[in-house]
A and B are shown apart, each in its own frame.
Chain A
Amino acid sequence: MTGDGVTGDGVTGDGVTAPLLAAEGVCYSHPAASGTPSRRAVDDVSLELSAGEVVGVVGESGSGKSTLARTLVRLLRPEAGTVRYRGEDVAGLRGDRLRAYRRDVQMVFQDPYSSLNPRMTVEEIVGEGLVVHERGLDRAGRRERSVTALAEVGLDADVLDRHPRAFSGGQRQRIAIARALVLRPAALICDEPVSALDVSVQAQVVQLLRETQRRHDLAVLFIAHDLAVVRSLCSRVAVMHDGRVVESGSRDAVYLRPTQDYTRSLLAAVPVPDPPRERARRAAARAAAQAAQPAAGGPVEDR
Chain B
Amino acid sequence: MSGPLLEIAGLTVDLPGADGELRRVVHGLDLTLAAGERVALVGESGSGKSVTAAAVLQLMTEARLGGSIRLDGRELLGMRPRDLRRVRGAEVGMVFQDPLTALDPVVRVVDQVAEVLVVHGEGRRAARLRAREVLDRLGVLGRLPRGDGYPHQLSGGMRQRVGIAMAIVAGPRLLIADEPTTALDVRVQEQVLTLLDDLTRERGTAVLLITHDLGIVAGFAERVAVMRSGRLVETAGVDQLFAAPQADYTAQLLAAVPRIDADLPGTTS
Task: Kindly list chain B residues whose C-beta atoms are within 8 Å of the C-beta of A278.
Answer: 215, 218-219
B215 & A272 in contact (Cβ 8 Å cutoff): yes
CB distance from B3 to the nearest CB of A (A): 27
**CB of B121 within 8 A of chain A?**
no
Q: Which A residues from 232 to 291 make CB contacts under 8 A with B? A: 232, 235, 250-252, 255, 265-267, 269-279, 281-282, 285-286, 289
Chain B residues 1 to 57 lying within 8 A of chain A, measured CB to CB, are: 44-45
Q: Tell whether, in the assembled complex, residue B269 and residue A11 are in contact, meaning their CB atoms are under 8 Å apart.
A: yes
Task: Give the docked Cα–Cα distance between A282 and B136 (Å).
Answer: 23
Chain B residues near A303: list those with CB within 8 A: 155-157
Q: How far is the CA of A279 from the CA of B264 in the complex (A)?
A: 22
Residues of B within 8 A of A296 (CB): 137, 139
A226 lies within 8 A of B155 (CB): no
- Number of B residues with CB within 8 Å of any CB on chain A: 50
Interface SS of chain B: helix, strand, loop or mixed? Answer: helix
**Alpha-carbon gap, A169 to B187, bound state (A):** 27
Cβ-based interface call for B213 (8 A): yes
Complex: A145 Cα to B149 Cα, angstroms: 58
Q: B269's contact among A169, A202, A228, A235, by CB below 8 Å, is which?
A: A235
Q: Which of A199, A271, A298 touches B142 (beta carbons < 8 Å)?
A: A298
CB distance from B217 to the nearest CB of A (A): 8
Residue B124 is within 8 A (CB to CB) of chain A in the complex: no
Q: Are A265 and B187 in contact (CB under 8 A)?
A: yes
Chain B residues with CB below 8 A from A302, complex form: 155-158, 187-188, 191
We find that the number of chain A residues with CB closer than 8 angstroms to chain B is 53
Q: Is the CB of A275 within 8 A of B187?
A: no
Stretch touching chain A among B62-70, B107-115, B250-258: B250-258
Q: Which residues of B142-193 are within 8 A (CB) of A? A: 142-143, 155-158, 185-191, 193
Residues of chain B lying within 8 A (CB to CB) of residue A298: 139, 142
Q: A231-B262, A302-B188 are in contact. Are A275 and B238 (CB under 8 A)?
A: yes
> Is B233 positioned at the interface, with any CB of A under 8 Å from its CB?
no
A227 pairs with B260, CB closer than 8 A:
yes
On whether the beta carbons of B218 and A272 are closer than 8 Å, the reply is yes
Contacts A/B (CB < 8 Å), 8 sampled: A11-B269, A203-B258, A225-B185, A232-B258, A266-B187, A269-B186, A282-B194, A299-B191
Beyond A203-B255, A225-B185, 18 additional pairs, beta carbon < 8 A: A12-B269, A61-B185, A199-B256, A226-B258, A232-B262, A250-B267, A252-B267, A255-B260, A265-B187, A266-B186, A267-B260, A269-B189, A273-B218, A273-B259, A274-B259, A285-B194, A299-B143, A302-B187
Which 3 residue pairs spanning A and B have beta carbons closest together? A271-B215, A297-B139, A278-B219
